[in-house]
């Protein structure tokens, strides 16, 4: 089962567009999305940092750029 936020998620868009971290999209977004830091933050009703990766790592410039253009 896939994450219900895939269509609107800038991290997903960034990961599938990139080569180095596309495996994270398959691991998290299409399988273990309940373990994704972005998913858990959204489900907690909290604001998701624009540059957060599924692993919880912050500072992804590519995800931040996608977040800006997807609004």
Interatomic CA distance for residues 40 and 69, integer angstroms = 23
* Residue 66 found at the interface with ligand SF4 (CB under 6 A): no
Q: How far is the CB of 38 from ligand SF4 (least distance, A)?
A: 4
Total residues contacting ligand SF4 by CB under 6 A comes to 13
**Binding test (CB under 6 A) with ligand SF4, winner from 21, 33, 62, 67:** 33
Half-sphere exposure of 62 (CA within 13 A, CB side): 14
**Is residue 65 exposed (0-12), middle (13-18) or buried (19+ Cβ within 10 Å)?**
middle
**Binding test (CB under 6 A) with ligand SF4, winner from 29, 51, 60, 67:** 29
């Amino acid at each position: 089962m896939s994450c219900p936020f895939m269509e609107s998620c800038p991290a997903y868009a960034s990961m599938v567009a990139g080569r180095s971290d596309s495996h994270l999209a398959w691991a998290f977004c299409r399988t273990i999305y309940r373990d994704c830091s972005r998913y858990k933050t959204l489900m907690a009703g909290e604001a998701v940092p624009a540059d957060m990766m599924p692993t919880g790592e912050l500072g992804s410039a590519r995800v931040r750029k996608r977040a800006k253009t997807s609004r």
